């Protein structure tokens, strides 16, 4: 509260009754080492991309993120991704939210640990060109390179 006070004002103590005080802790980020999540994500990517290749389908970001998070939505069920062995594993992950998991996946792509290709399409002559990432698989020595990298993330704490 010092930010909104005048010089010389006393610091306001938390009342522990209002929403700001009650939810203050849940909004504080926590620094976490997500190395095990990165290594597990590489296993998920390998399993999902191989499965999708065998079914002659492209692998999307959502496919990988939803298997990592063990989502039970219609897309996962329709593609039978819930039958993969890695989907059934009981892995206790650090990154809980799908947006955090998607960020980890993008980070793996940026670090060149995951191979992707770009798919450009223009459904009609008058429409805009769209770009989608298609995930091909993990690159050579990806696990070894991920082991030596830094995987420190700032994640929001979950409210109890």
Domains of the chain: 29-154 (1.10.10.10)
Residue 37 has pLDDT above 60, yes or no: yes
Residue 16 has pLDDT above 90, yes or no: no
Q: Are 115 and 133 in contact (CB under 8 A)?
A: no
User: Residue 6 corresponds to which tokens in the numbers above?
Assistant: 């005048």
DSSP letters along 63-106, please? HHHHHHTT--SHHHHHTTGGGSHHHHS----S--SHHHHHHHHH
Farthest-apart Cα atoms in the chain, separation: 69
Q: Please report the pLDDT score of residue 4 as a whole number.
A: 64
CA angle 133, 95, 48 (to 5 degrees): 40
User: Is residue 25 very low, low, confident or very high in pLDDT (cuts 50, 70, 90)?
Assistant: low
What is the average pLDDT score of the chain?
90
User: Is residue 1 very low, low, confident or very high in pLDDT (cuts 50, 70, 90)?
Assistant: very low
User: Is residue 148 very low, low, confident or very high in pLDDT (cuts 50, 70, 90)?
Assistant: very high
**Averaged pLDDT, 4-29:** 74
pTM: 0.80
% of residues, the chain, pLDDT over 70: 92
User: Is residue 19 very low, low, confident or very high in pLDDT (cuts 50, 70, 90)?
Assistant: confident
Residue of higher predicted confidence among 32 and 113? 113
User: Residue 69 corresponds to which tokens in the numbers above?
Assistant: 């998070």
Q: Please report the pLDDT score of residue 3 as a whole number.
A: 56
């Amino acid at each position: 509260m010092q930010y909104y006070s005048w010089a010389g004002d006393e610091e306001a103590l938390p009342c522990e009754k209002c929403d700001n005080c009650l939810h203050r802790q849940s909004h504080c980020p926590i620094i976490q080492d997500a190395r095990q999540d990165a290594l597990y994500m590489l296993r998920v990517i390998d399993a999902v991309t191989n499965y999708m290749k065998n079914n002659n389908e492209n692998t999307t970001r959502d496919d990988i993120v939803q298997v990592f998070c063990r989502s039970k939505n219609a897309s996962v069920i329709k593609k039978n991704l819930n039958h993969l062995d890695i989907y059934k594993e009981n892995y206790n992950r650090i990154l809980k939210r799908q947006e955090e998991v998607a960020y980890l996946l993008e980070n793996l792509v940026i670090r060149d640990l995951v191979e992707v290709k770009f798919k450009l399409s223009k459904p009609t002559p008058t429409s805009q060109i769209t770009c989608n990432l298609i995930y091909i698989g993990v690159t050579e020595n990806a696990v070894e390179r991920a082991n030596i990298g830094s995987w420190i993330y700032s994640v929001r704490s979950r409210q109890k």
